[in-house]
Amino acid sequence: MTALNPDLALHLEQDVTTICHCWRLVRRDGTTMGFTDHDRALTCDGTAFAPDTGLTASEARSSLGLGIDTVDVEGALSAFDIDEADIVGGKFDGARVETLLVNWRNPLQFTALRSAVIGKITRSDGRFVAELESPQAALDQINGRTLRRFCDAELGDARCGFDLTTPGFRAEAQLVSVEGNRLHVSGLDGYEQGWFDGGVVTWVAGPEAGRRDRVAAHRAGQQGASLTLWRETAPETVAGTAIVVTAGCDKRFSTCKAKFSNSVNFQGFPHLPGDDAAYGYVTESQVHDGGPLVE
């Protein structure tokens, strides 16, 4: 049960109340924004809350136990507050949202109702809907290691141990043009197609400097190389913008051994039997000498 501010509790006992909802949004980069469903701007708890987003919330529930409670918040896309390009760019992924109940006549009377994390954002016709997940959502995520055939390390991290500055695995390139989520770049002509599949693009200059995007596909052609990003769209940048691309890994033992010569640090279990072994049967063409199934 939410503990109400005593003064606010007295106000709620009146026949007529002057309350509104406020949402304080804190992105992972530290940017703080304030929104309210009141028709005027107000300041509460050190945060300025703007009314021009048309923000409204659905019914919220707080249940006992470990169930995940969610609430949807809907608002208008605004170039001054929440921009569609920022949503697509992932700037609001994992942002923390605190919901406040405020007496707009006396903003000192307020109570924090809940704290949540933005899970999924959908957008259409100039509006967005953000799903706010309760802290219990973290209990539904995998923590620790799991037994599986594929590697669960990130290429280049401490567990992987591969040095991404090794020549041939890190390339500097320049942006030529952007087509949806596809980047046409120069500077990657010496790399075979697919070399950067699953790799990472880091923006070196411009307003998106420091941003990192995962590469879904790397294609080489007569007109130059192209990188297709996992995100729906790429950021708006000018031609000639410098980027750095690192090689990708598909987490397979064969790739770790052949492409990176790093099989000693492979963080998966490639010899783990799967469904194919459970349902398999002996045939004359198979070799049963006790040797490894994966080399």
* Short-list 64, 67, 35, 69, CA closest to 52: 35
**pLDDT per residue as tens digits for the range 58-83:** 544 444 444 445 566 666 656 456 77
**pLDDT per residue as tens digits for the range 94-137:** 888 888 999 999 999 999 888 888 877 777 777 777 777 777 66
- Please determine whether the domains at 6-140 and 170-246 fall in the same fold group of CATH: yes
Please report, for the chain, the start and end positions of each structural domain, with discontinuous segments joined by +.
6-140, 170-246
pLDDT at 241 over 80: yes
| pLDDT value of residue 93 | 81
Say which CATH topology domain 6-140 has.
Thrombin, subunit H (2.40.10)
What SS3 state is found at 151?
coil
Element (H, E) at 183: strand 182-186
Cβ neighbours, 10 Å, residue 55: 23
pTM: 0.62
CATH of domain 170-246: 2.40.10.190
Give the count of alpha carbons within 13 A of 218, CB side only.
25
Yes or no: say if 173 and 187 are a contact pair by the CB < 8 Å rule.
Answer: yes
- Mean pLDDT, the chain, rounded, equals 81
| pLDDT value of residue 104 | 93
Yes or no: say if 106 and 42 are a contact pair by the CB < 8 Å rule.
Answer: no
The top-scoring range by mean pLDDT among 44-48, 228-232, 276-280 is 44-48
Q: Buried (b) or exposed (e) across 257-278, using 16+ Cβ within 10 A?
A: bebbebeeebbbbbeeeeeeee
* Short-list 142, 227, 120, 111, CA closest to 179: 227
| pLDDT value of residue 224 | 81
